[in-house]
Amino acid sequence: MDAIGPRLMLLTPEILLFGAAVVAAVLGLSRRHSIRAFLPIFTCLALVASLALMPITWTETRANEAQLMLPMLGAFMKPLLAAIGILLVLVSAGSVDRGFEAAVARGRTTFDPQRVVAGEFYAFFLFSLIGAMLLCSATDLIWIFLAVELVSLPTYIMVAVGGSSRRSGEAAIKYFFLGALSTAVFLYGFAMIYGSTGSLELQGIRTALAAQAAGSGIDAMALAGLILAVLGFCFKITAVPMHFYAPDVYEGAPTHVTAFLAFVPKVAGFVVLIVLLACVGWTGHSLVDGDGVRVPYAGLPTPLTAVLWMVAVLTMTLGNIGALLQRSVKRLLAYSSIAHSGYLVIGLLSGGAAGIEAISFYLLAYGVMTTASFAAIVALERRGEEINEINDLAGLRHRQPVMAWMLAISGASLVGMPPFLGFFGKVYLFVAAFEADQFALVVIAVLNSAVSALYYLRLATVPLVAPPSARSEEVQLVPSRWPWVAAVVCGIGTVILPGFLNTLVRSAEVTTAPAANTTVESPAADTSAASLSSAASERP
C-alpha cells in the first residue's frame, strides 16, 4: 500500500500551482505597477503550465497505483478546471483593486501595500482551484474534507475582497455562515459513515458497504450518513435544499467572483458526489475487483435514490421558476445555475459510466457557456457600476454588438438550442437517464427546459432586439479588455466546439476508462446479450 510516490506524481500540477500562488501573493505587493499588472498574466501562465503537466503526470498506471475510486476522473476534471480557470482569470483581470489602482495611476494617492488585495486575490483564486483539483485524487474522507475546505475558504475571502461595494461584504458573511453550516452537515454525515463502516478510506468504505448490502442490507447509520453528506454537498452544487444562498450571494458578490462561484465549487461538489456515490454504486453496474472478478454493485439504496430524485426535481423546478421572476441579470444567472445543477443531478442519479460521462461533458458545456455570459456582463459597466438590471442591457447591440451577440449565443446554448454546446450536454444527460430507466425525470427535465426558454429568451433578445432606454445608453465597456476577450473566446467555443464533439466526448469518457481494480462498468457489455434475448422474447 505504499502509494505515496504515484500520488505525489499525480499532484505535481497542484504543487506547481501552490508555488505559483505563493509567488502571486508576493508579487501583488510590489511597488512597481508593471509587476502588479502582470499578476493576472502570471496566474494564467501558471495555469497553462499545470495544464501542460496534467496529461504527463496523470497516467492510468499511476492512478491505479494510487488506489483511487475512479482512477481517471481527474484526467478530465483537472484539465477542465485549469482551462476554465484560465478564462476566469481573464474575467477577473482588471476588476480587482480597480479603484485604488486608478487612483495611484492618477497620482491621487501613493502606493500602499496594505491597501492592495490583488496578490491575495489571485493566490486565493489558485488555492480554490487547487482544492477542486485535489478532490479528483481523493482516497479518503479526511482528504475530501480538507480539499473541500480548501475550495471553500478562499471563495469566502474572494467574495469579500474582489470588489469594492458594501454588498459584497454582506454576501461574503452570508456565504461564510451558510458554507460553515453545510460543512457541519456533511461532516456529520462523514462521521456516521465512519461509525458504520469503520473506515475512512473510500475503498474500505466501499468494501464494508458491499458486505452490508450482501448481508442484511446497508446499515441505517451508513445510509443516514450518506444522505447527510449528499445534502451537505448540495450547498456546493447550489441544489435544493441548500440553494437559497445562491441568488443573494451571486448578486452581492462582484460579478467576476460570481463567475468563479458558478463553476469551480460546482465542479468540486459534483466530483465529491460522484466519488462518494461510487462507494455504493449504481444498480445494474458492476466493478472488477483485484482478481479480475466482476462484482455487482449493491446499487444505490432506495432512500438515497429517493432523496436524489427529490433534489433533482426540486432543484430544476425551483431554479427555473425562480429565474422567471428575476429582473436582475445576476440573480437570473444564479437561478439558472441552480436549474443546471438540477439537470446534473439527473446524471448523478442515473450513474454508471453513462451518468458520470454525461456529468463530465455537461460540466464542460456549462463551464463554457456560463463563463461566456458572466464574462460579457463583467465586460460591461454603467457609470462605473456593475450591470445588474437586465433592462440595462436593452439595445446593447447598438453600443456593444459583440457583447450583445455573446450574451445571445450563451443564452441560446444554456437553453439547449441546437447546434450549440448546451444542446449536446442535454442530449447526453437524457441518454444517461434513459439508460437508468429514469423516464419521469426526463419528462420533468423536458418541461423545465421549456420553462427555462422563457427567461433565456429574454437574456438573448433584450440585448439584441429591445430598444435602448436612457439607462442602457450609459452602458459601456470596462477599461480592461480581458473580460471582453474571455467572453468572445467562450462564445466562439459554444459555437465551434460542437464541431469537435467526438474529441470532447472521448475525453469525457476517459473519466470512466477501464482500469485494473475499481471500474464502473457500463451494463452494455454484460446485459446487451441478455436484453437482446429478452427483447426478442417480449416482442416477437
Partner 1 sequence: MSLIWTSILMPVIGAGLVAVASPRLSKWISLLATLGSLAALTLFAFEFPAWNNGQHFPLEAGPAWLDAAGIRLSVGFDTVSLLLALLTAFLMPLCIIGSYTAITERVKEYYGWFLLLGASIILAFAARDAILFYVGYEFTLVPMTILIAVYGGTERRVAAIKMFLYTFLGSMFMLAAIIYVAWEHRLSSGAWTFDIDALTATAVRLPASTQYWLFASLMIGFAVKVPLFPLHTWLPLAHDQAPTAGSVILASAMLKLGTYGNYRFALPMAPAGGTEWMVVVAVLSIIAIIYASLICWVQTDAKKLIAYSSVAHLGLCMLGLFALNPLGAEGAVFYMVNHGLSTGALFLCIGMFYERYHTKDTDVLGGLAKKMPVWACFMVLFTLASIGLPGLNGFIGEFLCLGGTFIAEHDGQSGYPGVLGPRFAVIAGLGLIFAAMYLLILLGKIVWGPLREPHHDSAHDHAAVHTSLPTDLNAREILVLTPLAVACIWLGVQPQPMLKAIEPCATRMLAQYPDEVRRLKGREAQMASDAADETNLVQLPQQGEVH
Q: Which of residues 420-439 bind partner 1 (CB under 8 A)?
A: 423-424, 427-428, 430-431, 434-435, 439
| Least distance (Å) between residue 324 CB and partner 1 | 12
Q: Are 521 and 294 in contact (CB under 8 A)?
A: yes
CB under 8 Å to 371, separation ≥6 — which residues? 84, 87, 88, 91, 259, 263, 486, 490
Nearest CB to partner 1, comparing residues 245 and 455: 455
CB under 8 Å to 400, separation ≥6 — which residues? 379, 380, 475, 476, 477
Q: Taking contact as CB under 8 A, which single stretch among the options 106-114, 198-206, 209-217, 522-530 is the one that binds partner 1?
A: 522-530
Q: Which of residues 369-428 bind partner 1 (CB under 8 A)?
A: 412, 415-419, 423-424, 427-428
| Least distance (Å) between residue 508 CB and partner 1 | 9
295 part of the interface to partner 1, by CB under 8 A = no
* Residue entry with cell 449493491: 298
Nearest CB to partner 1, comparing residues 24 and 412: 412
3-class state of residue 293 by DSSP: coil
509 part of the interface to partner 1, by CB under 8 A = yes
Phi, psi of 509 (to 5 degrees): -70, -20
The count of residues interacting with partner 1 (CB under 8 A) is 42
One of 106, 108, 383, 539 touching partner 1 (CB under 8 A): 539
x/- mask, partner 1, residues 344-363, rule CB under 8 A, reads -------------x------
Q: Which of residues 296-335 bind partner 1 (CB under 8 A)?
A: none
One of 446, 481, 496, 514 touching partner 1 (CB under 8 A): 446
Q: Are 168 and 304 in contact (CB under 8 A)?
A: no
Sequence-ordered alpha helix ranges (H) in 279-328: 302-324
492 part of the interface to partner 1, by CB under 8 A = no
Grid coordinates in use for 256?
467576476
Nearest CB to partner 1, comparing residues 325 and 465: 465
3-class state of residue 438 by DSSP: coil
Nearest CB to partner 1, comparing residues 470 and 529: 529
Q: Are 155 and 265 in contact (CB under 8 A)?
A: yes
Q: Taking contact as CB under 8 A, which single stretch among the options 26-34, 307-315, 481-489, 532-540 is the one that binds partner 1?
A: 532-540
Which among 2, 276, 341, 6 is positioned nearest to 143, based on CA atoms?
276
| Least distance (Å) between residue 520 CB and partner 1 | 16
Nearest CB to partner 1, comparing residues 222 and 346: 346
CB under 8 Å to 339, separation ≥6 — which residues? 315, 316, 319, 320, 323, 448, 452
Q: Which residues are 521's β-sheet partners?
A: 286
Q: Taking contact as CB under 8 A, which single stretch among the options 26-34, 146-154, 217-225, 453-461 is the one that binds partner 1?
A: 453-461
| Least distance (Å) between residue 283 CB and partner 1 | 16
Nearest CB to partner 1, comparing residues 258 and 438: 438
Measuring CA to CA, how many Å separate 416 from each of 74, 429, 499? 27, 12, 16
Question: What is the Cα–Cα distance from 70 to 80, expressed in whole angstroms?
Answer: 16
Q: Cα–chain-centroid distance for residue 357?
A: 14
Nearest CB to partner 1, comparing residues 310 and 530: 530
3-class state of residue 175 by DSSP: helix
| Least distance (Å) between residue 429 CB and partner 1 | 10
Residues engaged in binding partner 1 (CB under 8 A): 357, 412, 415-419, 423-424, 427-428, 430-431, 434-435, 439, 442-443, 446-447, 449-450, 453-454, 457, 461, 464-466, 501-502, 505-506, 509, 524, 528-529, 531-532, 535, 538-539
